[in-house]
Amino acid sequence: MLKRTEELYRGIDKIDAHIHQNSRRTTLLQEAEQEGFRLVTINTEVPDFPTTDEQREIALDIEKLKPGLLSFMATFSANGWGEPDWQIKSLAQIETGIKKGAVSVKIWKNFGMELRDSDGNFVMADHPSLNPIYETLEKNGITLIAHIGEPKNCWLPIEEMTVNGDRDYFSRNPRYHMYLHKEYPSYEEHLQARDRVLKKFNNLRFVGAHLASHEWSVDKVAEWLDTFPEAGVDLAERVCHLQYQAVENQPKIKAFVEKYQDRIIYGTDQIDDGSLPDDELRTAIRKKWHEEFQFFAEDSLQISKQVDKPFQGLGLQKSVLNKIFSQNALRYYPGIVK
Ligand SMILES: [Zn+2]
């Protein structure tokens, strides 16, 4: 990091608005405290994560050990979907989350990619069974964060994927590698289902996680943001896709970020499931924060293990960095601990 970047980094009160705190240790919080970050852990029904209720309780317990550093987003379980009391249970789970301080509610890609009805049809994001959830969130002004669909790479063979993280993730998770599952809904079908929800519930506060799954093209992200002028996007695990596009056309990526500077929210998607030793986890998250901040703050030539060629950083001014690394998260998720 250049001296200017270092000063900017130290001078901004930063938020990583997309992590997964699944272990009962404060390692990530300790590192956050040292690096000037606050964290938001997102309860998500990933099969090998603790149950969604457990994830919420972990967040609440860990927060008490280091107050002021960790907020959480609630979710609802798809378990028992299709049973008569599923809606009541899912709404109750959301209500519990909100009462305990959740700053947002998440819907995950198991809607669209996993759950099926009794006829074998996939339950997409716009399935009517979800309407009471959307209505409740809309009525109460609670932000919905959605990870619906996947990066476009997910529908490509491994060797055609653009970034190394996707190659790695989909090699390790073939069940989510849609190139292998032609009978599953297409990339476009997921996004269309999500967009129908946004059209129907047009006052729903909304954040599209992972650049709203349009990560492969800033033109597509821009088009989506123009279609839904109140919605935001988060950057979790997708900064590399901006870097990949910056290899060819850095000015275009810079112009995109500057134009949508009020609607882009920083996050890493760092998971702590207890598997890494403390020092390795601290090194990993610090490295990610430094390198990604450097990409936005500094216009030097940079490299990333995600992207095969060097790219030029964006060299954004402090006011823009401040929005992406802090202010936008506070606006979209107003309950974040201060
Ligand atoms: Zn995540």
Say whether pLDDT at 243 is over 90: yes
Q: What pLDDT was estimated at residue 11?
A: 96
- What is the percentage of the chain residues whose pLDDT exceeds 70? 100
Two tokens at 25?
């240790």
From CA 259, how far away is CA 247, in angstroms rounded? Answer: 20
* Ligand 1 centroid from CA 269, angstroms: 5
Interval 264-280 mean pLDDT? 98
As given in the structure block, the two tokens for residue 120 are 């074998």
Ligand 1 geometric centre to CA of 4 (Å): 31
Distance from the CA of 132 to the center of ligand 1, in angstroms?
24
The predicted-structure confidence for 160-183, as pLDDT tens digits, reads as follows: 999 999 999 999 999 889 999 999
User: What does the pLDDT read at residue 263?
Assistant: 98
Q: Is 181 helix (H, G, I), strand (E, B) or coil?
A: coil
Confidence of residue 337 (pLDDT cuts 50, 70, 90): confident
Indicate the pLDDT class of residue 54, thresholds 50, 70 and 90: very high
For the chain, give the percent of residues with pLDDT over 90: 98
Q: How confident is the model at residue 1 (pLDDT cuts 50, 70, 90)?
A: confident
Read off the pLDDT band of 38 (50, 70, 90).
very high
Say how many Å lie between the CA of residue 3 and the centre of ligand 1: 32
pLDDT greater than 80 at residue 105: yes
- Tell me which residue of 20, 88, 26 sits closest to 54, measured CA to CA: 20
Strands (DSSP E) contained in the chain are 14-21, 37-42, 70-75, 105-107, 144-146, 206-208, 232-234, 264-265, 270-272, 301-304, 307-312
Residue 80 region, left (φ>0) first, then alpha (ψ -120 to 50), else beta? left
Average pLDDT over residues 28-54: 97
Q: In this predicted model, what pLDDT tens digit does every residue of 107-131 receive, in sequence order?
A: 999 999 999 999 999 999 999 999 9
- Over 80: is that where the pLDDT of 17 sits? yes
How does pLDDT run across 136-159, given as a tens digit for each residue? 999 999 999 999 999 999 999 999
pLDDT confidence of residue 266: 98
Judge whether 75 and 107 are in contact, CB under 8 Å.
Answer: yes
Domains and CATH numbers, the chain: 3-332 (3.20.20.140)
Q: How far is the CA of 272 from the centre of ligand 1 (A)?
A: 11
Cα 158 from Cα 144, distance rounded (Å): 31
Average pLDDT over residues 63-86: 96
pLDDT digits (tens, 9 = 90+) for 90-100: 999 999 999 99
Ligand 1 geometric centre to CA of 190 (Å): 17
Whole-number pLDDT of residue 84: 94
pLDDT of residue 120: 95
43 alpha carbon – ligand 1 mean position (Å): 9
Tens digits of per-residue pLDDT, 297-336? 999 999 999 999 999 999 999 999 999 999 999 999 999 9
CA–CA gap between residue 9 and residue 11 (Å, rounded) = 5
Distance 322 CA to ligand 1 centre (A): 22
Instruction: Say what the pTM is.
Output: 0.97
Q: Which residue type sits at 82?
A: G
| Å from CA of 62 to ligand 1 middle | 19
